[in-house]
C-alpha cells in the first residue's frame, strides 16, 4: 500500500467475452479510493505473476463464460507459490451461488453476484484487506 | 383534426384536463426514457400533427413493417441460441428443439448455433489456453467431421444454419461449404447466416484483427457469398453487442446504423453493386426494459435503414429492408430471484413482436447464474410460442401505429439517433470511431451512468435496489461435464491421424499466401480457406496464418 492506497488487480480469465462488468467495477473501485490495475485476460499463472510484480493487496477475477472452479483451483496455488499468502482474493460475475462455498473452500475469500453496486465490493475490500491468509 | 368544430371540442377537453391536474401538476417529477428523452404524462393529436404518417406496412420507408400484412403469412422465426459440448451433444439439442417446435418462416428449420469461446478465438481443444472452456458456453467445432455431423440429415435448401462464430467466421463458413460439397451439394444449396461482425470490436474488449484488416476480411466473405451463395445472409450488424456494452437505445440505433453504413461503403469500395449485397445484411438488436421506447426504436430503425440504403444507391425494396433478429437483453436480467426474469423476458418479447421484427431469441431466466437449464431454455422458447399462438399480437400488422405516444416517440428516437449518427459520420464514420475508441468511450460512459442510476435508486431494479432480500439462491445451473474436453481432444487427435498431412500442409501454405495477398489488398481468401477445409485443416490451424497476416490486437 505505497501512497496508502489499496492496490487491486482486476482480471478476467484468459479467454472470455463481454467486459462491461469488470470495466465498471474498475471505475467504481477507483471512485472508492482504491488503486486498480486492470489486467483484462490472463491464465491463473499469468494473473498470479502480475499480482506479484505489481505487489497488489487484492486479486479480483471476473468470469462471464463459466470455468470459475477451474480458475480458482489453479489461481490459489499459483498465488501461494509466489508467496502471496496475505493477498485478498475475490471473484465475481456469472457464478452460481451454489458454487460460492466450494470456491471459498479452495481459498477464495468472497464471491459477488453480477450487477451489484461497486461500493459493496469496495467496502468488503476495505474491511478485509490485510486481515486474511491463504495458508 | 379535420374541422373547426372538432378542434374546438378538443380544446374544451384539454382545458378540462388542465383543470383536473392543476393542483398537483407542479409536483410531478420530470420523466425521461432510457435514452434520456423527456417524456410527458399524456400525448395528443397535437404532438403528431407535424408528422407524415401516411404510409402502409410493406411500403417504403417501412416504418410500419417490412411486409404488407405483418405476421399474417408466417410468424417470426424462433431462433433460440443453443450449443454446448461437442457436435454430439449439440446434435441432440437440435433434435430436442425441433421436437419442441422451434421453426423459422413457413415451418423451415432454423439452427442458431453458438460456438464455444476457444472455437471463436480460433484455438482447438488441444490448445493449452482452451483448457476449462471447451464446449462450455457453446459447441466446440474444429474439424470437417464436426461440420459433417452438424449438417447431417438436415435438408440444406430449407434449413437455416446461423453460425455464431467469433474471429473464426471465415473458417467457419469455409468448413460448412466443404461439408455441403461432401454431401454432393453446391455451396448455393446452403441457407443461413454468417456473423461477419468484426466491427463489434468497437465495443467488445476482445482480441481481434487490426481494423483495416478486419474490414478486408468482412468484405472478402461478402464478395465470396455474393458470387457463390446468393441466398446466404452474409453479415450480422450486431446492435445487440452495442446495447449490451451499455449503449442507450438511441446510441444503439445511431452507432448500429453507422456500422451498417460502413459495411455498405466497404462493399462498394470493393466494387460491389449495392443491389447485389445489401439485401443480405441483417441486424441483431437488443431489447431493454422501457417497453414503448423499444417499440419506437424498432420502427425508427426500419425507417432510417431504408433511407441509408436508398441513399447508398439501392433500388430493390429487399435491399432497403432492415431485417431484424432480436436478442432480448441479458444484461438487464438479475441473479437475485432469477424466476422474476421471466416477467422481464416476456415483456421484451412483447416489445419485439409489437415492433414487427423477423426473428427472436429470448433469454432464459437463469442466464445470470450460468448456462441455461433444459427447463429454463424450453420456457424461453415456450414464452415466444405463447405469444405467437395465444396472444392475438400477430393478427394485426404494426398495431400501435397511430398511437399519439408511439408515433411521437418513433419520430423523437429517429431525430435523436440521426444527431448521433451524423456526429459519428462527421468524425469520419464507424471504422474511424472504432479505431480511435470514440464509440467505446461514449458507450462506456452510458454504462457507467446506468450503473450510477441503479445505485442511486433512480433506475429501479427489483431484487437489486428494490425489494431486496438476503436469501441465497439454491438454483443449480446446467453443468457441462469437463469430460467433454477430453472427448473433444480425443476426437481431434483421431481426426488428425486419418487425414493426409502433406495435403493439409500444402493447403495451409497456400492459405497463408492468400492471407498475405489479402493483407496487401490483393486476391480473395475464401477459396483458399475452403480448399484448406476440404483437405482437413482444423479451425485452429486455419487461424494461425490469419493471426500472422491480419494482426491480433485488443483495441482500446
Q: What would the pLDDT profile of B231-280 be if each residue is shown by its tens digit?
A: 999 999 999 999 999 999 999 999 999 999 999 999 999 999 999 999 99
Which class for B31: exposed (0-12), middle (13-18), buried (19 or more C-beta within 10 A)?
Answer: exposed
Q: Let me know whether B237 and B223 are in one domain.
A: no
Domain annotation covers residue A112? yes
Q: In the structure grid, which three cell numbers stand for residue B318, read together?
A: 429487399
Chosen domain end from B413, B438, B468: B468
B331·A20 Cβ contact <8 A: yes
Q: Let me know whether B491 and B536 are in one domain.
A: yes
Omega of the bond prior to B61 within 30 degrees of 0, cis?
yes
Backbone angles phi, psi at B153, to 5 degrees: 80, -15
User: pLDDT category, A65, cuts 50, 70, 90?
Assistant: confident
Instruction: Give the span between the Cα atoms of B356 and B343, in whole angstroms.
Output: 20
* CA B146 to each of CA B183, B276, B491: distance values in angstroms, whole numbers, following the listed order: 14, 32, 9
Mapped onto helix, strand or coil, the DSSP state of residue B419 is helix
Instruction: Calculate how close chain B gets to A116, using CA atoms only, in Å.
Output: 7
pLDDT of residue B38: 98
pLDDT of B191 strictly over 60: yes
Domain annotation covers residue A133? no
Considering chain B, what percentage of its residues have pLDDT values greater than 90?
A: 95
Q: Which residue of B has its CA nearest to A40?
A: B205
Instruction: Calculate how close chain B gets to A117, using CA atoms only, in Å.
Output: 6
One DSSP character per residue, B56-68 reads -TTSTT-TT-SST
CATH code for the domain of B169: 3.20.20.240
Q: What would the pLDDT profile of B39-90 be if each residue is shown by its tens digit?
A: 999 999 999 999 999 999 999 999 999 999 999 999 999 999 999 999 999 9
Domain annotation covers residue B28? no
- Could you give the number of structural domains in chain B? 2
* pTM (2 d.p.): 0.96
What residues make up the domain containing B222? 74-229+481-556
Looking only at the bridges linking them, the beta strands covering B38-39 and B31-32 are antiparallel
Of A21 and B351, the structure prediction assigns the larger pLDDT to B351
A117·B455 Cβ contact <8 A: yes
Q: What would the pLDDT profile of B422-466 be if each residue is shown by its tens digit?
A: 999 999 999 999 999 999 999 999 999 999 999 999 999 999 999
**Residue B363 CB neighbour total at 10 angstroms:** 28
Domain annotation covers residue A134? no
pLDDT of residue B256: 98
Residue among A27, A94, A119 whose CB faces B368 most closely: A94
Q: Let me know whether B178 and B314 are in one domain.
A: no
pLDDT of residue B556: 60
- What's the rounded mean pLDDT across residues B504-523? 98
- Could you give the number of structural domains in chain A? 1
Q: What is the CA radius of gyration of chain B?
A: 24
Average pLDDT, chain B: 96
Domain annotation covers residue A135? no
User: CA angle, B516 as apex, B513 and B520 as ends, to 5°?
Assistant: 140
Domain annotation covers residue B26? no
Residues of B in contact with A40 (CB under 8 A): 205, 554
pLDDT of residue A40: 82
pLDDT of B1 strictly over 60: no
- What's the rounded mean pLDDT across residues A20-47? 93
Domain annotation covers residue B23? no
- Answer for the pair A103, A111: CB distance below 8 angstroms, yes or no: yes
Mapped onto helix, strand or coil, the DSSP state of residue B193 is strand
Residues of B in contact with A67 (CB under 8 A): 132-133, 136
B369·A66 Cβ contact <8 A: no
Q: Which residue of B has its CA nearest to A19?
A: B205
Instruction: Give the span between the Cα atoms of B359 and A63, in whole angstroms.
Output: 29
pLDDT of residue A46: 95
Interface confidence, given as ipTM, is: 0.91
Burial B464-495 (b: 16+ CB within 10 A, else e): bbeeeeeeebebebbebeeebbebbbebbeeb
pLDDT of residue B2: 60
Residue among A28, A43, A66 whose CB faces B136 most closely: A66
Q: In the structure grid, which three cell numbers stand for residue B294, read together?
A: 423499444
- How many Cα neighbours within 13 Å face the side chain of B353? 27
pLDDT of A2 strictly over 60: no
Residue among A28, A43, A114 whose CB faces B129 most closely: A43
CATH code for the domain of A117: 3.40.50.280
Q: Let me know whether B427 and B464 are in one domain.
A: yes
Q: What would the pLDDT profile of B392-409 be if each residue is shown by its tens digit?
A: 999 999 999 999 999 999
HEC per residue, B110-162: EEEEEECHHHHHCCCCCCHHHCCCCCCCCECCCCHHHHHHHHCCCCHHHEEEE
Amino acid at each position: 500500500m505505497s501512497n496508502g492506497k489499496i492496490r487491486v488487480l482486476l482480471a478476467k480469465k484468459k479467454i472470455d467475452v463481454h467486459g462491461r462488468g469488470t470495466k465498471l467495477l474498475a471505475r467504481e473501485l477507483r471512485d472508492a479510493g482504491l488503486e486498480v490495475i486492470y489486467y483484462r485476460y490472463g491464465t491463473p499463472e499469468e494473473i498470479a505473476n502480475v499480482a506479484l510484480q505489481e505487489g497488489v493487496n487484492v486479486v479480483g477475477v471476473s468470469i462471464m463464460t463459466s470455468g470459475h472452479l477451474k480458475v480458482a483451483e489453479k489461481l490459489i496455488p499459483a498465488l501461494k507459490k509466489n508467496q502471496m499468502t496475505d493477498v485478498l482474493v475475490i471473484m465475481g460475475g456469472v457464478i452460481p451461488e451454489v458454487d460460492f462455498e466450494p470456491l471459498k473452500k479452495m481459498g477464495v475469500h468472497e464471491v459477488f453476484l453480477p450487477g451489484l453496486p461497486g461500493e459493496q465490493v469496495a467496502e468488503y475490500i476495505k474491511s478485509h484487506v490485510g486481515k486474511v491468509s491463504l495458508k | 383534426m379535420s374541422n373547426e368544430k372538432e378542434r374546438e371540442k378538443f380544446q374544451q377537453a384539454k382545458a378540462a384536463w388542465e383543470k383536473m391536474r392543476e393542483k398537483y401538476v407542479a409536483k410531478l417529477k420530470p420523466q425521461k426514457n432510457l435514452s434520456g428523452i423527456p417524456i410527458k404524462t399524456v400525448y395528443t393529436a397535437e404532438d403528431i400533427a407535424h408528422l407524415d404518417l401516411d404510409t402502409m406496412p410493406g411500403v417504403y420507408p417501412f416504418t410500419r413493417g417490412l411486409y404488407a400484412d405483418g405476421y399474417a403469412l408466417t410468424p417470426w422465426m424462433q431462433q433460440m441460441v443453443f450449443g454446448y459440448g461437442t457436435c454430439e451433444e449439440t446434435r441432440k439439442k437440435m433434435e430436442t428443439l425441433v421436437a419442441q417446435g422451434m421453426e423459422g418462416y413457413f415451418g423451415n428449420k432454423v439452427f442458431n448455433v453458438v460456438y464455444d469461446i476457444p472455437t471463436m478465438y480460433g484455438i482447438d481443444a488441444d490448445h493449452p489456453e482452451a483448457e476449462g472452456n471447451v464446449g462450455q458456453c457453446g459447441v466446440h467445432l474444429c474439424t470437417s467431421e464436426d461440420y459433417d455431423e452438424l449438417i447431417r440429415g438436415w435438408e440444406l435448401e430449407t434449413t437455416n444454419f446461423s453460425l455464431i462464430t467469433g474471429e473464426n467466421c471465415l473458417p467457419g463458413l469455409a468448413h460448412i461449404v466443404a461439408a455441403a460439397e461432401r454431401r454432393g451439394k453446391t455451396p448455393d444449396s446452403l441457407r443461413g447466416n454468417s456473423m461477419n461482425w468484426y466491427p463489434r470490436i468497437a465495443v467488445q474488449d476482445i482480441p481481434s484483427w487490426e481494423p483495416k484488416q478486419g474490414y478486408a476480411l468482412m468484405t472478402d466473405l461478402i464478395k465470396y457469398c455474393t458470387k457463390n451463395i446468393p441466398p446466404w445472409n452474409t453479415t450480422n450488424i450486431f446492435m445487440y453487442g452495442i446495447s449490451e456494452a451499455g449503449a442507450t437505445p438511441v446510441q444503439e440505433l445511431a452507432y448500429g446504423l453507422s456500422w451498417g453504413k460502413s459495411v455498405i461503403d466497404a462493399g462498394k469500395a470493393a466494387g460491389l453493386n449495392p443491389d447485389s449485397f445489401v439485401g443480405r445484411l441483417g441486424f441483431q438488436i437488443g431489447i431493454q426494459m422501457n417497453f414503448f421506447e423499444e417499440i419506437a426504436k424498432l420502427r425508427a430503425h426500419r425507417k432510417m435503414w431504408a433511407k441509408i440504403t436508398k441513399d447508398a444507391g439501392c433500388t430493390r425494396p429487399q435491399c432497403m429492408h432492415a431485417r431484424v433478429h432480436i436478442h432480448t437483453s441479458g444484461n438487464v436480467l438479475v441473479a437475485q430471484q432469477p424466476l422474476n426474469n421471466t416477467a422481464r423476458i416476456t415483456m421484451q418479447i412483447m416489445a419485439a413482436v409489437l415492433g414487427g421484427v423477423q426473428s427472436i431469441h429470448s433469454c432464459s431466466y437463469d442466464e445470470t447464474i450460468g448456462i441455461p437449464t433444459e427447463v429454463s431454455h424450453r420456457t424461453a422458447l415456450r414464452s415466444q410460442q405463447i405469444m405467437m399462438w395465444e396472444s392475438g399480437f400477430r393478427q394485426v400488422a404494426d398495431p400501435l401505429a397511430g398511437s399519439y405516444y408511439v408515433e411521437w416517440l418513433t419520430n423523437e428516437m429517429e431525430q435523436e439517433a440521426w444527431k448521433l449518427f451524423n456526429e459519428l459520420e462527421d468524425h469520419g464514420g464507424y471504422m474511424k470511431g472504432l479505431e480511435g475508441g470514440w464509440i467505446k468511450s461514449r458507450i462506456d460512459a452510458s454504462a457507467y451512468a446506468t450503473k450510477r442510476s441503479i445505485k442511486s435508486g433512480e433506475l429501479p431494479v427489483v431484487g437489486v435496489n428494490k425489494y431486496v432480500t438476503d436469501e441465497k439462491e439454491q438454483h443449480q445451473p446446467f453443468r457441462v461435464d469437463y469430460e467433454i474436453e477430453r472427448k473433444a481432444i480425443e476426437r481431434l487427435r483421431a481426426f488428425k491421424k486419418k487425414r493426409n498431412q502433406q495435403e493439409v500442409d500444402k493447403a495451409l501454405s497456400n492459405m497463408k499466401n492468400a492471407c498475405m495477398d489479402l493483407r496487401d489488398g490483393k486476391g480473395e481468401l475464401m477459396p483458399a480457406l475452403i480448399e484448406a477445409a476440404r483437405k482437413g485443416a482444423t479451425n485452429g490451424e486455419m487461424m494461425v496464418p490469419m493471426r500472422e497476416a491480419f494482426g491480433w490486437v485488443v483495441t482500446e
